[in-house]
Structure 1
Amino acid sequence: MLISRTLLRSTLPIALALTPFAVQAQSTEELTEMVEVEAASGAYMGSVLVARGDEVLLDQAWGSANLEWDIANTSDTRFRIGSVTKQFTAVSILLLQERGLINIEDPISKYIEDAPESWAKITVRDLLQHTSGIPNLTSLDSFGTQKFLPTSQDELIATFSGLPLEFEPNSEWRYSNSNFVLLSRMVETASKMSYQDFVKTNLFDPLGMKSTGIDRSAEILPKRAAGYSPSDDGIINAEYVNMAIPTGAGALYSSTGDLLKWQRGLFGGKVLSEASMTQLTTPSEFEAVAGAKYALGLLVTDTPEGRSIWHGGGIEGFNAFLGYDPDTKVTVVVLANLNGGSASKLGMGLLEATREK
C-alpha cells in the first residue's frame, strides 16, 4: 500500500522505470555485487534473499535498521512490506472460497453491508484484480490528513463508498487500495475472525512464519527497522502513518526468511488447492504496469525468458519486492527501509540474473 500520494507517484506500486542489471549472474559473489552497487550509491539499505529451490544463493543485509543508534540491518530484521500484503489477502479470500464461505464471482454487495447501488456490478474478482472502478482512497485529497488520524474501518470505507466509479467494472485496470480494504472486511465477515487473527491462524502459523504480522505502531516489536525517506538534505525519518488504516492492503511486516517460507509454502502446494492456485496466478486481460498483467493480488510478467510472479510495495519509510519464477523455482525478496525504487529495481534484476539460460 502506498500511503502518500507523492510516494504513490514515485513508486506505484512497483512502477518499473528500472534499468535492468546484467543477466546470468549465477554466483553469490555476483549477486552480492549487484546489491553492493545500489547500496553504495546511497539509494538502498535493507535485506535481500535469493533462493533457487532449496538452495539459498544470497542472504545478506545492508545499511542501518536504526540510523540514530547506528544499529545495522540483519537478515532477520523486520520491515513493513506495504502492498506485498495484498497477496496474503487474496490467498485468504481463496481459502474462504474453498470453504464455501465466499465465491469470487459473486457481486460484492453479497458480502459488504450497505454497499452503494453503484457497486452492484462489481464482483469479488474485480476487487482482487483492480478492475472495480472504485477510487483509490490513498489518492484522495483528504488522505493526506487522514493517514495521521485514528480511523476505523467503517470510517475508511465511508471515505470512498459515496464516490462515483472511475470506470465501468471490468472494463479496465486501475490500482486501488480501496479494493483491498473491502476484501479485508470480507475476510473478517466470512471468517468471523479479525483479519489479523485469520492470517496468523491460517497462513503464518502453519508455515512457521514467526517474524510476520500486522504492524502496530504502539507495539514493542523486536528487530523492527525504522523507516526513512530521501530528501534534498539527505535521509530523514519517514512521516508517521496510522497502521490501523492499511489492513489487508498493506499493513504487514515481515523478514526475508519468512517471505521465503511463504513462497515455498504457497508455490509448494501447502496453502491452496491446485485449482485455487490457478485462479490466483491467472491474470486479467488488461495490462497493468510495464507489460505485466494483474492476477489476484499478484502481478504476472510473461517474456520469452520466462514468467515472473511478483508484487512490490511501498509505505512511508519502506519499500519491498517479492518475486518468483515458477520455471526455475527462484525466489527473490528485497526489503528496504529507505523509500525509493531500489527494492523493485534490485528485485527484478536479481530475478532475471538467476534465470538459467
Structure 2
Amino acid sequence: MKFTFKTLFVIFFTFYGIYGFSQVKNEQIDSILNNTVKSDGPGAIIFIKQKGKVLYQKAFGKANIENKVDMSTKNAFNIGSVSKEFTAMSVLQLLEKGKLSLEDNVNSYLPNYSKNGDKIKIKHLLSHTSGLKSHTDTIWANTDARKYFDSSKDVLNYFKNDIVQFEAGENHEYCNMNFNLLAYIIEKASGMEYTDYVNENIFRPLGMTNSYIPSEGQLIPNLATGYELKNNEIVYARYHSINQTRGSSSIHTTVEDLSKWYEGLMNSKVISRENLIKAWTPFTLNNGEKSTYGYGFYSDRKFNKTSIFHNGFIFGYSTSDMYFPEDDLLILVVSNISDINVINTNTIIFDIASSIYKSEIPKLTTVLLDTYVGTYLIEKGFKVKIFRKGLVLFNEFDGQSAVELAAETKTKFRVKDFPAKVEFYQSSEDGRMRIILSNGREKYEGIKE
C-alpha cells in the first residue's frame, strides 16, 4: 500500500488498527537500553503508549553524573528540533483562524529579507523547501550561538544570508532558519510573542503543565543536566542562547507532556483532522515528486505502517519521537547527551519499533545477503561498500562511518536512523548486482565491481 493522502484520510475516519502489543516485553526493551546506556553515564527515558494505555515507561542512567542523580521519568529535556512540530501546528491554527495563508510569501511579513522572498511561501518554510541556507553549523555553535538578541526579528536580521540554494519548492533541504522565520510570522499574524502564543494555544489547553519555552537563564523544574562528548570525554554541554532557537528548537518538556501533545493532535484539540492529514502527508515538490517531510513532521513507511516522526539534537540533549497512527502507537526516546556516538535516540527508537513490529520484518538469509555484499561504483563517481555482520547489512561511503541497514523487504533496506533507502536488483542485461541509493527525490544508481 502506498503512502498517500487518501491512506491517511481512511486511517483517521475509521477505527484504529487492531494490532495487539501484548508481545511487547519489558525485558526486550530493557536489553536494548542496557546495551546502550551506562548506569553511571548520561541517561535516557523510554515511553511507549497505545490507545491511552502506557505500555512502558522507564528511565536509565544519570540525570546528573557529578552528583550521581538517577534519571527519572519526570525529568525535563530540551527537545531541540521536535519543537518544530509545535511551530508548524501553531501556523496551521492561525490558518484555521483566517490570520494567514500558506500561500503568503516571506516578503509580506519581512520585506526584502530575501531576493526570493516573493517566491518563498509559508508552505515552503513548513516543508523545508524554501531554498534558504541554514546558519546553524559548527562555526555558529562555537561562536554566535552565545549571542543574545532582543527579538525574533533581530535574530533573523543578524543571520540574514541571501544565499539561495535552489528555487522554492524544487527540493527539500532541512534548514532551521525556516522555522525561525515561522516563529516571527506567528508573532506578526497573532499579535502575540511566540512564547505566549504557544503557551496559550497549545500548552495550557492540552494540560502540558511541565512544558516551557524559557526566557534566557530561566530555571526549568527537574531539568536533566545536558552533556556533550569532547575529546572522548563526557563534559557539560556548551552554553547557547535560547532566544536564537525559538521556532526551530528551545521547547523544554517531559515525556508525559509529549504524550499529551500527540493525544491532542489525534483528538483534534490542536487543529482539524483535515489539516493534520496535510501536515502528515509528504510535501509535493514542483516536479510532482514527494519529499519525506510534511509540515513540521517526517512522514514515511516503516514496518509496512504509516510512521510520523521527528528528532532533535541540540547542545546537551537529543529526542526522537515516532508515531504509528494506524495503531495509535507512540514511542518516545529522550536523552541528556547530544552525541550519537554515546547515545543515539534514533537508533534506539528504531530498535524498539523493530521489536514491536518484528512480524513485519522480512526473513533474511546469509545466502541472500551475500549476493548484496561488495563494493559498488555509483554513477556520480563515488563508491559504496556493503558488508554484513550476521544477518545485518551495513553500508559505508568513502571515508565515512558505516551505517546499519534495516530490511523493509528482501531487496529494499533503509538507513536505520535516517529517512534514506537502499535497494538492490540484478540487471537483466549482464546479471550483475546493482544498487539504488535514495533520500527523498535524490537517487543514485551504481553497479557492483
Same fold (TM over 0.5): yes
More strand by share: 2
Aligned ranges for residues 134-173 of structure 1 at < 5 Å?
Answer: 134-139=132-137, 141=139, 144-152=142-150, 153-173=152-172
Q: Which residue of 1 aligns with 2:400?
A: none
Alignment-derived partner of residue 263 in structure 2: 264
Equivalent residue runs for 1:22-171 within 5 Å = 26-40=24-38, 45-139=43-137, 141=139, 144-152=142-150, 153-171=152-170
Kept in 1: contact 2:135–2:176 (CA 8 A): yes
Q: Distance in 1 between matches of 2:37 and 2:249?
A: 25
How is 1:160-239 mapped onto 2 (pairs within 5 angstroms)?
160-239=159-238
Shift of 1:233: 4.2
Superposed counterparts of 1:241-280, under 5 Å = 241-280=240-279
| 1:48-67 Cα distance to aligned partner (Å, 9 max, x none) | 10112122111111111112
Aligned alpha-carbon RMSD (Å): 2.2
How much does 1:156 deviate?
2.0
Task: Please state if 1:351 is matched with 2:349.
Answer: no
Structure 2 gap ranges (5+): 1-20, 360-449
In the alignment, the residues of structure 2 paired with residue 196 and residue 145 of structure 1 have an alpha-carbon distance, to the nearest angstrom, of: 25
How far apart are the structure 2 equivalents of 1:34 and 1:216?
36
Say whether the 8 Å CA contact 1:136–1:177 is kept in structure 2.
yes
Distance in 2, matches of 1:162 and 1:34, equals 43
Give the 4+ runs in structure 1 shifted more than 4 A: 41-44, 140-143
- How far apart, in 2, do the equivalents of 1:58 and 1:303 lie? 21
Per-residue deviation, 1:68: 1.9
Q: Specify the alignment match of 1:327 in structure 2.
A: 326
Counterpart amino acid of residue 75 in structure 1:
T
Task: Mark the CA change 1:29 to 1:55 in structure 2 (over 3 Å): closer, same or farther.
Answer: farther
Taking structure 1 as the reference length, what is the TM-score of the superposition? 0.87
1:258-289 alpha-carbon deviations (Å, 9 max, x no partner):
10111111122221112211211111246xxx
TM-score by length of 2: 0.70
Q: For the Cα contact (< 8 Å) 2:64–2:225, is it kept in 1?
A: yes
What is the aligned partner in structure 2 of residue 11 from structure 1? none
Cα distance, 1:225 vs structure 2: 1.0
Deviation by residue 1:313-351 (Cα, 9 ceiling, x = unmatched): 011100001110011111011111012231111122223
- Structure 1 gaps, min length 5: 1-22
1:304 is displaced (CA, Å) by 5.5
> Aligned partners of 2:313, 2:198: CA distance in 1, in Å?
20
Alpha-carbon distance in 2 for matches of 1:142, 1:222 = 28
Count residues with an aligned counterpart.
Answer: 331
Contact 1:43–1:340 (8 Å) recurs in 2:
no
**SS of aligned partner of 1:249:** coil
Q: Would you tell me which structure has more helix in proportion to its own residues?
A: 1
Amino acid of the residue matched to residue 122 of structure 1? I
Deviates more, 1:308-317 or 1:334-343: 334-343
State the percentage of identical aligned residues.
27
Change beyond 3 A, Cα 1:354–1:55: farther
Cα contact 2:146–2:240 (8 A) shared by 1? yes
Answer yes or no: is the 8 Å Cα contact 2:45–2:60 preserved in 1. yes
| Counterpart position of 1:7 | none
